[in-house]
Amino acid sequence: MIEIKDLHKSYKMGNNSLHVLKGINFTVDDGELVAIMGSSGSGKSTLLNILGMLDVLDEGTYTLDGVPIKDMNETKAAQYRNKFLGFVFQSFNLINYKTAAENVALPLYYQKVGRKEREIKALKYLEQVGLKEWAGHLPSELSGGQKQRVAIARAMAAEPKVLLADEPTGALDSKTSYEVMDLIQKINDAGNTILIVTHEPDIAKMCKRIVHLKDGVIIEDEKINQVRASSYVQ
Ligand code: ADP
Ligand code: MG
């Protein structure tokens, strides 16, 4: 699904350049649930943003579902993003003046799905995250955990090949974090490929593989026996 070879990325600041990713190699197969770990500043978000086509690499190759991601114009990149990738962020990034259902329906609008079908799908995905009753509510009326579940429903509504989540539990307490991880595990159980950036070991243990980043390189890449979040959630 994902193949990264000898990936390098630097940020230029004036005359200086900060070499953030220094030769990353890894592949992710269909159906994996991968945690990307590392201390603050180790390049986790930079890597996820490149995988998510929100940023471009300097050197190396990136192949997504057999397609080389390189030198694409913004229109083409946006098409691929919409078709292949779903995003979840620490800060939810919901639109405040739109209801839960409208937020979930938004990516479908960009996919040119008709209005009626958008409404049906939005409710379907809200139901899958246990929030059908909250469809007409604004983000300000939802708890943090509920907001993140709406954000996950929004990401899934476009039926992406890969779900990318940057510290999805970073703004949540432990109990709510485990509820969100329970949902993420269920989405992965259904066959979806998911990558999560986290610096919380208990969250990483709920994935099936942990990739450790340090100083711009992968220092460890291990398959693990997944801890089920449901054992912490009633
Ligand atoms: P992490 O997500 O692991 O905390 P990041 O990928 O956000 O790390 O950042 C890695 C390094 O790159 C940090 O030193 C950060 O300050 C720097 N950095 C990130 N984004 C930018 C940017 N847009 N411009 C300049 N420096 C950046
Ligand atoms: Mg980050």
pLDDT classification of 227: cutoffs 50, 70, 90:
very high
Q: What is the pLDDT of residues 52-111, one digit of tens each?
A: 999 999 999 999 999 999 888 888 888 888 889 999 999 999 999 999 999 999 989 888
Mean pLDDT, the chain, rounded, equals 94
User: What is the C-alpha separation between 212 and 219, in angstroms, rounded?
Assistant: 6
Which of 45, 211, 218 to mutate for ligand 1's pocket (most ligand atoms within 8 Å of CB)?
45
Q: What is the pLDDT of residues 143-181, one digit of tens each?
A: 999 999 999 999 999 899 999 999 999 999 999 999 999
The pLDDT value recorded for residue 13 is 87
What is the share, in percent, of the chain residues with pLDDT greater than 90?
Answer: 86
User: What is the C-alpha separation between 100 and 94, in angstroms, rounded?
Assistant: 8
Q: Is the dihedral of CA 190, 32, 90, 3 positive or negative?
A: negative
What one-letter code names the amino acid at 120? I
| Burial category of 38 from C-beta neighbours within 10 Å (exposed 0-12, middle 13-18, buried 19 and up) | buried
Q: Is the CB of 16 under 6 A from ligand 1?
A: no
Q: Which atom of ligand 1 is nearest to the CA of 44?
A: 3
Domains and CATH numbers, the chain: 2-231 (3.40.50.300)
Chain centroid, CA 64 distance in Å: 15
Question: How far is the CA of 81 from the CAs of 50, 62, 64, 108, 220, in angstroms?
Answer: 11, 14, 11, 13, 28
Which of 16, 24, 44, 46 to mutate for ligand 1's pocket (most ligand atoms within 8 Å of CB)?
46
What is the share, in percent, of the chain residues with pLDDT greater than 70?
Answer: 100
How far away, in angstroms, is 73 Cα from ligand 1 center?
24
Nearest to 50 by CA among 195, 156, 208: 195
Q: Which atom of ligand 1 is nearest to the CA of 47?
A: 6
* pTM of the shown model: 0.94
142/74: higher pLDDT: 142
In degrees and rounded to multiples of 5, residue 230 shows phi and psi of -65, -20
Ligand nearest to the CA of 46: 1
Q: Is the CB of 38 under 6 A from ligand 1?
A: yes
